[in-house]
């Protein structure tokens, strides 16, 4: 007996042109290539042009994904966009993307789960497809961090980590006989713990402040408009939660680490991914990392990783690919996909 499942038809990405090496950052702040590479594994990142917005990056990645899917864009039933760097506070950036795609009328949904946003988006798309409500869903992760970072020495612990970019997938309904063997999204596993929301966040502006204090000069002087991160706490939780999310997916599908062909993890810090792999006994050649080239592109990271893995010949049809992510919220998640 067959069932309706979702399948990733294609991946597309957009990487901005402006390359910033670690040495280039020295023009803006007191840092060093050695510090950044040793602590994070990052060698460079790309930052968008000032004229670009997050929905522009999302549009380019989406157009590539739709073209590679070989479908008319009018087949798309739903647009899901994960980002923590929206074009504007409201409306959602998925609305701007939907308009730029020229798809009036179809629903447009923003996902605000930061580094975990893309997996949350894939999971939402998977549910809509399995129930038969939609047949083709565009899931995008896109970020322009560069315009929202304190790119001075005061903000260096955060600003050296992040890059801009976008990645998109087209997911489609398929008839699957054996979900464990046929090409499809096998399972997704989502988690959050808001008790840690202020470990990595942007405090202001926001509706939590009184009217007169929503955004004040004092707040700007204190830098509350910039991301604030307790790096060590985030690190400690990431190396615990990501392996947990992987094990949850393995147990749900009665699989072992050795059954997985490739791990495409979120890219926040190379040391995090090395520690996750070590704990789970994953050989280094099965972990596909991109952080050295792109830095942390938050919601765009996993689709960019999938795209790069395909281009490098590491991810091929029929393979079992596991993704896991951890980030602000705290949120964390895993997905298991038969490619
Ligand atoms: O996807 C979002 C989730 N985010 C993460 O997963 C990030 C998790 N955390 C991390 O990746 C690491 O904690 C960091 C990379 C952010 C920091 O690495 P660390 O090994 O925890 O660094 P540290 O806190 O031990 O080192 C801090 C020192 C300080 O100097 P002192 O006080 O020891 O003299 C900082 O001022 O390093 C200094 N520092 C820098 N120096 C040069 C901080 N940032 C920089 C910098 N360049 N960019």
Contacts of 278 (CB under 8 A, 6+ apart): none
Sheet (strand 184-192) strand order: 184-192, 331-338, 320-327, 262-263
pLDDT digits (tens, 9 = 90+) for 34-81: 999 999 999 999 999 999 999 999 999 999 999 999 999 999 999 999
Q: Specify whether the CB–CB gap between 29 and 159 falls below 8 A.
A: yes
Same domain? 149 vs 208:
no
Per annotation, catalytic residue among 150, 189, 266, 307? 266
Q: Whose CA is nearest to atom 10 of ligand 1?
A: 231
pLDDT at 63: 98
pLDDT at 27 over 90: yes
| Alpha-carbon distance values, 121 to 1, 53, 94, 95, 186 (Å) | 28, 20, 12, 15, 15
Per annotation, catalytic residue among 150, 273, 289, 296? 296
Q: Which atom of ligand 1 is nearest to the CA of 296?
A: 1
| Alpha-carbon distance values, 160 to 72, 116, 292 (Å) | 39, 20, 12
Same domain? 222 vs 298:
yes
Test site for ligand 1: of 235, 301, 304, 330, most ligand atoms within 8 A of the Cβ:
235
Quick one: CA dihedral 302, 306, 312, 315, positive or negative?
positive
**Is 296 a residue of the active site?**
yes
Same domain? 93 vs 225:
no
Q: Which atom of ligand 1 is nearest to the CA of 158?
A: 16
Q: How far is the CA of 263 from the centre of ligand 1 (A)?
A: 26
Range of the domain at 196: 184-338
Q: How far is the CA of 156 from the centre of ligand 1 (A)?
A: 8
Q: How far is the CA of 270 from the centre of ligand 1 (A)?
A: 13
Same domain? 162 vs 211:
no
Domain count of the fold of the chain: 2
- 1: confidence class by pLDDT, cuts 50, 70, 90: confident
pLDDT at 179: 81
Upstream peptide bond of 91 is cis (omega within 30 degrees of 0): yes
Q: By three-state DSSP, how is residue 123 classified?
A: helix
> CA-CA distance, 80 to 229, in Å (whole number)?
27
Could you tell me if residue 280 is left (phi over 0), alpha (psi between -120 and 50 degrees) or otherwise beta?
alpha
pLDDT at 180 over 90: no
- pLDDT average, residue stretch 321-326: 98
> CA-CA distance, 168 to 301, in Å (whole number)?
10
Q: Whose CA is nearest to atom 6 of ligand 1?
A: 268
Per annotation, catalytic residue among 22, 95, 115, 307? 115
Q: Whose CA is nearest to atom 36 of ligand 1?
A: 157
pLDDT digits (tens, 9 = 90+) for 299-309: 999 999 999 99
Same domain? 45 vs 135:
yes
Residue with tokens 């997905």: 335
Domain at 141, CATH number? 3.40.47.10
* Degrees to nearest 5, angle at CA 210 with 205 and 216: 50
pLDDT at 82: 99
DSSP letters along 257-274, please?
Answer: GGG-SEE----S-HHHHH
- pLDDT average, residue stretch 245-249: 98
Same domain? 220 vs 118:
no
Q: Which atom of ligand 1 is nearest to the CA of 160?
A: 48
Helical H segments across 113-253, by residue range? 117-130, 156-159, 217-222, 231-252
Same domain? 129 vs 193:
no
Q: Residue 77: which of 143, 122, 139 has the closest Cα?
A: 139
pLDDT at 190 over 90: yes
Pocket of ligand 1, beta carbon within 6 A = 31-32, 35-36, 39-40, 115, 156-157, 160, 200, 231-232, 234-235, 238, 268-269, 272, 296, 327
Test site for ligand 1: of 24, 29, 39, most ligand atoms within 8 A of the Cβ:
39
Q: Specify whether the CB–CB gap between 18 and 194 falls below 8 A.
A: no
> CA-CA distance, 318 to 192, in Å (whole number)?
31
Q: Which atom of ligand 1 is nearest to the CA of 298?
A: 1
Same domain? 156 vs 115:
yes
pLDDT digits (tens, 9 = 90+) for 104-149: 999 999 999 999 999 999 999 999 999 999 999 999 999 999 999 9
Q: Residue 90: which of 110, 64, 69, 115 has the closest Cα?
A: 110
Same domain? 159 vs 189:
no
pLDDT at 168: 99
Q: How far is the CA of 198 from the centre of ligand 1 (A)?
A: 17
Q: 286 or 215, which is more confident?
A: 286
Q: Which of 12-21, 43-52, 172-181, 267-276 shows the lowest mean pLDDT across its residues?
A: 172-181
Q: How far is the CA of 227 from the centre of ligand 1 (A)?
A: 14
| Alpha-carbon distance values, 139 to 97, 105, 150, 333 (Å) | 11, 17, 29, 16
- Among 176, 200, 227, identify where a domain stops: 176
Same domain? 124 vs 263:
no
Same domain? 65 vs 210:
no
């Amino acid at each position: 007996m067959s069932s309706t499942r979702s399948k990733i038809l294609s991946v597309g990405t957009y990487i901005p042109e402006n390359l910033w090496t670690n040495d280039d950052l020295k023009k803006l702040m007191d840092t060093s290539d050695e510090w950044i590479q040793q602590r994070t594994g990052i060698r460079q990142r790309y930052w968008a042009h000032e004229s670009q917005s997050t929905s522009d990056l999302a549009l380019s990645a989406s157009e590539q994904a739709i073209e590679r899917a070989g479908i008319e864009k009018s087949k798309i039933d739903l647009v899901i966009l994960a980002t923590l760097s929206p074009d504007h506070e409201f409306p959602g950036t998925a609305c701007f993307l939907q308009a730029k795609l020229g798809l009036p009328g179809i629903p447009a949904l923003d996902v605000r789960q930061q580094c975990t946003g893309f997996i949350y988006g894939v999971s939402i798309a998977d549910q809509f497809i399995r129930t038969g409500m939609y047949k083709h869903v565009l899931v995008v992760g896109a970020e322009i961090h560069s315009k929202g970072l304190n790119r001075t020495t005061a903000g260096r612990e955060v600003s050296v980590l992040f890059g801009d970019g976008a990645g998109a997938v087209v997911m489609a309904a398929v008839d699957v006989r054996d979900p464990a063997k046929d090409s499809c999204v096998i399972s997704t596993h989502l988690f959050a713990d808001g008790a840690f929301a202020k470990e990595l966040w942007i405090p202001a502006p926001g509706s939590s402040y009184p009217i007169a204090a929503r955004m004040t000069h004092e707040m700007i002087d204190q830098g509350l408009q910039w991301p604030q991160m307790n790096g060590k706490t985030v690190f400690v939780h990431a190396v615990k939660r990501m392996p947990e999310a992987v094990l949850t997916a393995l147990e749900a599908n009665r699989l072992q680490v050795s059954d997985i062909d490739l791990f495409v993890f979120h890219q926040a810090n190379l040391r995090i991914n090395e520690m996750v792999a070590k704990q789970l006994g994953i050989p280094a050649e099965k972990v596909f990392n991109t952080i050295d080239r792109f830095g942390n592109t938050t919601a765009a990271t996993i689709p960019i990783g999938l795209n790069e893995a395909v281009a490098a010949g590491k991810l091929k049809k029929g393979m079992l690919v596991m993704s896991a992510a951890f980030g602000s919220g705290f949120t964390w998640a895993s997905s298991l996909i038969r490619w």
